[in-house]
Structure 1
Amino acid sequence: MLSPDWNHIRAFLATAETGSLSAAARKLGLTQPTLSRQVAALEAELGVLLFERLGRSLALTEAGRELLAHSRRMGEAADGLALAATGQAQTIEGLVRITASDGISAHILPGVLERLRQQAPRLRIEIVAADDIRDLQRREADIAVRHVRPEQPELIARKMQDTTARFYAARSYLERRGTPRSRADLSAHDFVSFGDIPQFLGYMKPLGIRLSDENFPVGSTSGLAAWELVRQGFGIVPMLDAIARKSPDVEPLDLDDLPPLEFPLWLATHRELHTSRRIRLVFDVLADYLTGLKMRF
């Protein structure tokens, strides 16, 4: 009777859920060659091919898809054992505040909240929709999801993955104004602002995108409000692909001379992580969720 090594199954599961060896290695804290050897060892143990390589990504074979469901059940059981051994998750209680941009707060975090409700039902989670990393320093939040690594020495940061973003517009806007095909075309279009316009212009300039205040006839300090304005046809905005693909009424602009933009995704907290069971639990569950989430184009 076959009895595959759990480490090999765990490597397969992480690779299947992240879609690449490099992302899976980061998730498990392994080097990519080590993880690759573990996956190859599992294939040798089972005598089947689990992945096919498609360009830079991996696709599950039929045998891999069959194994995935069983592996997930094993992973859930292992997670349950770890939680029972390290913290009695069912008994952990208290308030944990997570701060993230309002887009991530509304469109990304609900999935991890469901996991936390199942694992630690006595916890209370509050989402602080804001972009200011000082929320952690003032203890207005316990954990932050950010695109920039915090430099404050009293904070602990862990990179989750690299995300992608593109420019998006509603079909109604594109039908009315035409579809830009290059960076130069963007200067003749309307944009929706969702914050500081001079700062946004500063981000666009190194990309070779020349805009001015006149390109921003409407906007909002709220990212959610700005996104709704985009959906209603008021202009163009850069948006994370993981968020934009939830809105079928907007389309990505496939600019011939500009590949998808890349942004790192960081998870940060203060040093109470080492002494607070509730913060440790939420940080670990959130890290696992964000690392495995498909956030690239």
Structure 2
Amino acid sequence: MHKCMNWKAINFDWNQVRSFLATAEEGSFSAAARVLEQTQPTVGRQVAALEMALGITLFERVGKSLNLTTAGAELLLHVREMADVANRISLTATSQSQAVEGQVRITASDVMSAYQLPPILKKIRLAAPRLEIDIVAANDIRDIQRREADIAIRHVRPTQPDLTAKLVAEATAHFYAAPSYLDQVGRPKNEGELAKLDFVGFGDIDTMIGFLDPAGIKVTRKSFRVGSQSGIVSWELVRQGFGICVMSDDVAALTPGVERVLPDREPFKFPIWLATHSELHTARRIRLVFDQLADQLSAGTIR
């Protein structure tokens, strides 16, 4: 049996609570540290301090994993309620602000963050020089409702409730490679010849195979001998001659040292969605950045 928690006697440190919540949801101190952008020892110390303040054990270590104790699972329910309330307070306060200053967090893929957003941010800074822009470069989908970002740029339509979403563009993509690589292996004339060449992997290889197969590119796992979870790293590997990958034509236009492969082939097409919380959309600074992103991400405006 765990000790009964005297809630009135406890002065919560919200940083400790956030570390506990992230660890419970991510399953380890290291994963929680990545989400919180802190070090693993810091997260571990904060959870240990919370355990000491409460006088209970929150996690049991099983191999390399952390499992919630009964007391930890009970606390997690309350902490999630606290986080939801805190997020609602933050959303309400932000939505009332009419000042074009303060922080706006934008989340996008690492490739878009590195190549496409900088020229757009220059224009936003001219329009609103007192804004503080924080780019969350992430290839997973961040939660706007939990204020992991204020505005999200996504390639799938957001389905969460209470979000304002806008389809701003339909982008195109082709196969690209370095001229030095194509000089070495030859320039393919059709999908069959293309499938025999080296591909640079990005993310899950089986997912990439599933994407290419319906397009007539019959590749296997052996086709992907080098790759990365990072889109930026994968694209740099392509630029340095390791093989071929599919890339947005907008990004390729901003990248020296790459050549379109099968240039006459029909392009891949994918949507670009902007999303923000419906309450945040009423805040002047969020609306300004949202509208600027929508205008600049429209076809042909970022080159």
Measured against the shorter chain, the TM-score band is: 0.5 to 0.7
1:191 aligns with 2:194: no
What is the distance in 2 between the residues matched to 1:174 and 1:216?
A: 17
Q: Are 1:220 and 1:226, in contact at CA under 8 Å, matched by a contact in 2?
A: yes
Equivalent in the alignment of 1:265 = 272
Q: How much has 1:295 moved relative to structure 2?
A: 7.2
Shift of 1:255: 5.7
- For 1:259, the aligned partner's letter is E
Structure 1 partner of 2:298: 291
Which of 197, 200, 205 is 2:213 aligned to? 205
Partner in structure 1 of residue 282 of structure 2:
275
Residue equivalent to 2:116: 108
Q: Report the Cα distance in structure 1 between the residues aligned to 2:150 and 2:260, rounded to whole angstroms.
A: 34
Q: Is the 8 A contact 1:99 1:135 kept in 2?
A: no
1:133-190 per-residue CA deviation (whole Å, 9 max, x = no partner) reads 2332432111111111111222211011111100000011101111111111122111
CA deviation string 1:26-52 (max 9, x = no partner): xxxxxxxxxxxxxxxxxxxxxxxxxxx
Q: Note if contact 1:192-1:219 (Cα within 8 Å) is conserved in structure 2.
A: yes
Contact kept, 8 Å, 1:95 with 1:124, in 2: the verdict is yes
In the TM superposition, what whole-angstrom CA distance separates every residue of 1:218-242 from its partner, at most 9, and x where no partner exists?
A: 0011111111100110000000111
Note if contact 2:181-2:241 (Cα within 8 Å) is conserved in structure 1: yes
Q: Give TM-score, length-normalised by structure 2.
A: 0.64
In the alignment, does 2:173 pair up with 1:165?
yes
- What is residue 229 of structure 2 aligned with on the other side? 221
- Structure 1 partner of 2:157: 149
8 A contact 1:163–1:295 mirrored in 2: no
Deviation at residue 199 of structure 1 after TM alignment: 0.9
Structure 1: 5+ residue runs without aligned partners? Answer: 1-86
Partners of 2:97 and 2:283 within 8 A in 1:
no
Contact 2:296 2:302 in 1 (8 A): no
Q: CA deviation at 1:127?
A: 0.6
CA drift of 1:292 comes to 5.3
Distance 2:297 2:112 in 1: 11
Among candidates 250, 260, 271, match of residue 242 of structure 1: 250
Aligned to 1:63: none
**Aligned residue in 2 for 1:33:** none
Three-state SS of the structure 2 residue aligned to 1:134 is: coil
Hey, what's the Cα distance between the residues in 2 that align with 1:169 and 1:292? 23
CA deviations 1:52-79 (Å, max 9, x no partner) are: xxxxxxxxxxxxxxxxxxxxxxxxxxxx
Give per-residue Cα distances to partners, 1:189-248, cap 9 Å, x unaligned: 111111111111111121121111100110011111111100110000000111112223
Contact 1:149/1:266 (<8 A) preserved:
yes
The alpha-carbon distance between structure 1 residues 287 and 255, as it changes in their structure 2 partners (threshold 3 A), is closer
Does the C-alpha gap of structure 1 residues 285 and 171 become closer, same or farther in structure 2, counting only changes over 3 Å?
same
Structure 2 runs not aligned, ≥5 long? 1-95
The percentage of counterpart residues that share the same residue type is: 56
CA RMSD in angstroms comes to: 2.1
Partner Cα separation in structure 1 for residue 296 and residue 164 of structure 2: 18
The amino acid of 2:272's aligned partner reads L
SS in 1 for 2:198: coil
CA distance in 2, matches of 1:169, 1:131: 22
User: For residues 100 and 193 of structure 2, what CA distance do their matches in structure 1 show?
Assistant: 54
SS at match of 2:217: coil
TM-score, normalising length from structure 1?
0.66
Does structure 1 conserve the Cα–Cα contact (< 8 Å) formed by 2:174 and 2:261?
A: yes
Q: Which has the larger radius of gyration?
A: 2
What is the rounded CA distance, in whole Å, between the counterparts of 1:140 and 1:206 in structure 2?
Answer: 35
Conserved? CA contact 1:183–1:255, under 8 Å = no
Count of paired positions: 208
